Structure 1
Amino acid sequence: MRLKGFPLQEAKSRLAEIQQISESDYAAYIEKAREKIISYHLQHNPFYKKFIGSANTNDWQQLPVMTKKDLQMPLEERLSDSFTIKKVHTGKTSGSSGTPLHYAKDLFCHALTWAGIIDRFGWYGLDFNNSYQARFYGIPLEFVPYRKERLKDRLSSRYRFPIFDLSEKKLSQFLDVFRRKKFDYINGHTSSIVLFAKFLQKKNIKLTSVCPTLTHCIVTSEMLFPDDKQLLELQLGVPVINEYGASELDLLAFTNPDGKFQINSENLFLEVVDDQGVQVPNGTPGTILVTMLYNKAHPFIRYEVGDIGVLDETSTPKKPILKELLGRANDNAVLANGTTVPGHTFYYIAKSGMGTDTVVQEFVITQHTKSDFTLTYVASRELNTDEKNTLEEAFLRYLNTPIAITYERTELLDRSNRGKLKQFISEL
C-alpha cells in the first residue's frame, strides 16, 4: 500500500491512538468526530451541502438518511473540493442490493480501513500480509483482470479457489490443493465454504486431518446461520470467524475473541434506526446506518447499508455489539394474506423444513407473485414427494398461508460476478 501512496503507518498510529481512548471518554470522541466530518463536507462538498438542504445539523437524528439511489450521479460530482479521481481510491460495489455504486475514499481513509483489518486479523494471531490464505472468492474471467488478480494473490500470500464452479469434481480438486499446501486460514464467501464443508462431510473428512497447519476460517459477504457455523467448525476443524463489511465503507463488524460480533467503532459510527431515521433501543431490529468518520473525499453520513440488524443490549460507545444481522432490508416476501416476511426468515424456514440430513447442498428461493415461488436447488437427486410435502408443511406452519412452490434441480447455482450467492430473490 505504501508503494501506491497510502499512508498505512500513519493510519496504524492513528488507530492505536483511538483504541487508547477510555470508555468514559469514547462517546465524546464519537460526537466530536461526527461534528468534524459533517462540518468538513458542508464546507468542501457542494453535493452534500445540497443534499442536506435545510436540515438541522445540530440534531444528529434530523440529518437525512443517505441511500445508494441518492448517489446515482457521476462520481466526480460527489467529490469534495481539492479531490480528483486520480487523487482518491475508487471502487464499485457488486450491485447485490440491486443498485451498483461507484465510490471514493481519500488515501488516509482507505489506509485506515486496512489498518483496521490488519488489527482484527491480529486478534487471532493471523498476519494479514504473511499468513497463507485459502481464498474462496470470485475472479474476473477476462484475460487482463484475471491476470491482475492472480498476481495480487501471489503478492499477498494467498491461493484463490474460484467459486463459480462448485461441482463435486471441482471440490475434489480443492481438497487435493489442501493436501499439498500449508494454509494458515480460509477466507471467503460463506455459502461456498459451507458447500465445501458439506462435501467434506459426505467424504467423512475433517479438513485439518489433511491440512494440519489450518487454524481459522473467516467467512464474509453472506449470512452465517448457526447450523452452518456448527457444520463448518465440525468439518474444517477450526474456529469460524464472521466478518461483516461493505466495500464502499469499511469493515463493519468482526467476531471478537469472546465470540461477540464487535462493531468497528474506531473509524465509523453505526446506528440502528426505524423508518423515520430515529435510533431504536438496543435489542430492537431496525435499519443499519453507517457514518464514515474519516472519509473527506466523499460523504457517507447516515448512509443506509441496506441491512436489518439488532444492537446488543450490552453495547457501549467503545464496544458496540451486533446481536443479530437479519439480512437485506429490501429482500422481503410479501404474501397473499397481506403479511411481509423478511427474506432471510423465508430462507431459514426452508433450511429447517429440509432437516439436517437433506440431500440438498444449497438452494435459492425466488418469489414470482404473492403466492408463487421457485426453489432452485443443488442435490444428488430430485426431492421426492415426501420431502416436498414436509417442506411445504413447514412453510404453512410458519407463514400461516398456503404458497405454491415449483422445484428446479440444477447442477450449479448462479453467483454474482464476485461470487456472492443471493439466497432469496423477490421479483415483485
Structure 2
Amino acid sequence: MFKLFDLSLKLNGFKIEEAKKDFERILEVPEADFEAFTLQKRKEIIDFHLRNNQFYKELTSGVDTTDWNKLPVISKKDLQKPLSERLSKGYSEKSVFVNKTSGSSGEPFIFAKDKYCHALTWASIIYRFGWFGIDFNASYQARFYGIPLDFFGNKKERLKDFFGRRFRFPIFDLSDGFLEKVLQKFKTSKFDYLNGYTSSIVLFAKFLDRKNIVLKEVCPSLKVCFVTSEMLFEEDKILMEKQFGIPIINEYGASELDLIAFENKNGEWQVNSETLFVEILDENNQPVANGEEGKIVITSLYNKAHPFIRYEIGDIGILDEKSTFKKPILKKLIGRTNDFAMLPSGKKSPGLTFYYVTKSIIEDDGNVKEFVIKQTKIDSFEVEYVSESQLSEEQILKIKDAISLYLEPNLNFIFIRKKSLERTNRGKLKQFQSLI
C-alpha cells in the first residue's frame, strides 16, 4: 500500500521510518531496566543543553546541575523571548520544526523541535492511535478543528489534510444548520474515526441526540472517536458513546511536546514514558508522592534544538499510586493553574467546579447548547451561554443555590445569552477564565 502520510513527513525532512524503529527499541526496554534507561536519557539531554544551549546555561547558572531536583522549572514566561535566543548551537529556524502554542493558557510562545525529535513525536502518535486500529496511511478521519481563515494558511492546512487522509469540519459555526451538513457528509463518506476538540464533538453528539440518530448507523465504517484539548466530562462521554455508537478515547497533549497521556484499552490515562519524563511537583518544585496532587512538569528527552527540561505546562494533576517508570498512569487531570477561582473567603476552587455545578442544572432540558464562565471580580462571575430560549428565573435560582452549597454563599452571577461563544483562533473553547 502507498503510504501517503509517511511520504508527506519524509518530504518535510522528518525521518519517520528511522524514528519508528527507534521508538520500537524504546518499547522493548524491559520494565526492570526502564528506570535506569530514563535516568540516562535525562542526563544525556541535560548535558547536551549545558554544552550547546546558551539560554539553558544562563538559566542554570549557579545551580548544581548534577542534582535533578535543584534544576530550575521552566515557565512559559521564560520562553517568551525570540526563538533565535533559545535555539541550541548548530540549529537555525530554517533547520528545525517551528510552531506556536495555541495560547489557551494565556501565555503563547514560539517553540522549536529538531526534525528527529518531531519524527519521534509522530512515531509516538502513530503507535498510540494504532491501539485502536487506526492507520494514518489508510484510515479516513473526520476532523473537528479550527482552520486559518487567510488564503495561504487555509490552503496549507487543506493540503496537510489531504496527505493526512482527513476531512476537516471547521468549528467556528456550530449551528444546527452547519451540523446538519456535517451529518450529511457522514452519510456519504466512509470515515474510520473522529478526532478533534471536545466541546465541538459534544455539540455534534447533542445534535444527534435531538434527532434521535446514532452516527454508526448512518456511517457503519466508524471505529472510534478521539477527543483532545478540552475537559471531557463523564456524562458527555456517556452521551457521545450512545449517539456515536463507538468508543470515546481521551487524549492529553501539548503541541510543544508530544502526546502526554492517552487513554488505553483498559480505560487508563497512560502517560507517554517513551519520549517524555513527567513529574508532579509541589509549590517548592519538589516531587510529590504518587497519589498526591501537584503541578505537571515535563521533560522532553529527545529535543536537542530547544530545551524543555522540567517545563511547567500549566496543568494540575495526580499520578496513580500504581505508576511505574515504564507505565505511569495519570489518575486525574484537574485543570490549568490559571483556571482556579480565588473566592472572598480565601478559598481557591477549580474553575471547572462552577462549570460542573452549572452544567448539571441548565442542561436538564437541552435548551442550553454550551456556556462559559468568567470571573470578573473576587465575588463576581459572568455566565455566557447559547440557548434556544432565555434561562428562566427558576433555573438561575437553582444555579445560585447549588453554587452556594458546593462553593460558598454571596457570590454574584450575571447571565448573558449570546448567539455564539468566543473561541481561540484555533477554535478551542475556554470553559472557565479568571480575569482578576
* 1:196-222 residue CA offsets vs partner (Å, 9 max, x unmatched): 101111111111111111110000011
Partner Cα distance (1:5, 1:144) in 2 = 21
- Structure 2 residue 323 is the aligned partner of structure 1 residue 315: yes
Q: Given the alignment, which residue of 190, 197, 203 partners 1:189?
A: 197
Partner Cα distance (1:83, 1:153) in 2 = 28
Partner Cα distance (1:346, 1:280) in 2 = 27
- Structure 2 residue 56 is the aligned partner of structure 1 residue 54: no
Q: Given the alignment, which residue of 382, 389, 396 partners 1:388?
A: 396
* 1:120-147 residue CA offsets vs partner (Å, 9 max, x unmatched): 0111110022200000000011111111
Partner Cα distance (1:411, 1:42) in 2 = 52
TM-score normalised to the size of structure 2? Answer: 0.97
Q: Given the alignment, which residue of 82, 85, 99 partners 2:107?
A: 99
Q: After superposition, where does 1:8-407 map in structure 2 within 5 Å?
A: 8-354=16-362, 356-407=364-415
* C-alpha contact 1:133 1:185 (8 A) present in aligned 2: yes
Partner Cα distance (1:150, 1:161) in 2 = 11
TM-superposed CA distance for 1:380, in Å, is 1.2
Q: Secondary structure at the match of 1:368?
A: strand
Aligned to 2:435: 427
Partner Cα distance (1:132, 1:214) in 2 = 9
Partner Cα distance (2:334, 2:217) in 1 = 34
Q: Which shows bigger deviation, 335-344 or 267-276?
A: 335-344
TM-superposed CA distance for 1:352, in Å, is 2.5
Partner Cα distance (1:411, 1:160) in 2 = 23
TM-superposed CA distance for 1:416, in Å, is 0.6
Partner Cα distance (1:403, 1:353) in 2 = 17
TM-score normalised to the size of structure 1? Answer: 0.98
TM-superposed CA distance for 1:411, in Å, is 2.0
TM-superposed CA distance for 1:381, in Å, is 0.8
* 1:347-385 residue CA offsets vs partner (Å, 9 max, x unmatched): 212223335444212100011111111111111111101
Q: Secondary structure at the match of 1:86?
A: coil
Q: Secondary structure at the match of 2:73?
A: coil
Partner Cα distance (1:307, 1:413) in 2 = 24
Gap regions ≥5 residues in structure 1: none
Give the RMSD, CA atoms, in angstroms.
1.0
Gap regions ≥5 residues in structure 2: 1-8
TM-superposed CA distance for 1:93, in Å, is 0.7
Partner Cα distance (2:113, 2:25) in 1 = 21
What is the letter of the counterpart of residue 40 of structure 2? K
* 1:149-177 residue CA offsets vs partner (Å, 9 max, x unmatched): 11221221110000000011111111111
Aligned to 1:3: 11
- Runs ≥4 in structure 1, deviation > 4 angstroms? none
Partner Cα distance (2:11, 2:431) in 1 = 39
What is the letter of the counterpart of residue 100 of structure 1? P
Partner Cα distance (1:214, 1:167) in 2 = 23
* C-alpha contact 1:182 1:213 (8 A) present in aligned 2: yes
Q: Secondary structure at the match of 1:87?
A: coil
Partner Cα distance (2:67, 2:163) in 1 = 47
* C-alpha contact 1:337 1:401 (8 A) present in aligned 2: no
What is the letter of the counterpart of residue 115 of structure 1? A
Partner Cα distance (2:334, 2:401) in 1 = 24
Q: Which shows bigger deviation, 322-331 or 132-141?
A: 322-331
Partner Cα distance (1:20, 1:283) in 2 = 27
Q: Secondary structure at the match of 2:422?
A: coil
Q: Given the alignment, which residue of 400, 410, 418 partners 2:418?
A: 410
What is the letter of the counterpart of residue 81 of structure 2? M
Partner Cα distance (2:97, 2:274) in 1 = 20
TM-superposed CA distance for 1:253, in Å, is 0.7
Q: Secondary structure at the match of 1:135?
A: strand
* C-alpha contact 1:336 1:401 (8 A) present in aligned 2: no
* C-alpha contact 1:260 1:321 (8 A) present in aligned 2: yes
Q: Secondary structure at the match of 2:277?
A: strand
Partner Cα distance (2:368, 2:291) in 1 = 34
How many pairs does the alignment contain? Answer: 428
Aligned to 2:5: none
Partner Cα distance (1:160, 1:194) in 2 = 16
* 1:235-279 residue CA offsets vs partner (Å, 9 max, x unmatched): 111000111110111111111111110000001100111001111
Q: Secondary structure at the match of 2:377?
A: coil
Partner Cα distance (2:100, 2:149) in 1 = 17
Partner Cα distance (2:31, 2:62) in 1 = 34
Q: Which shows bigger deviation, 348-357 or 304-313?
A: 348-357
Partner Cα distance (1:326, 1:23) in 2 = 28
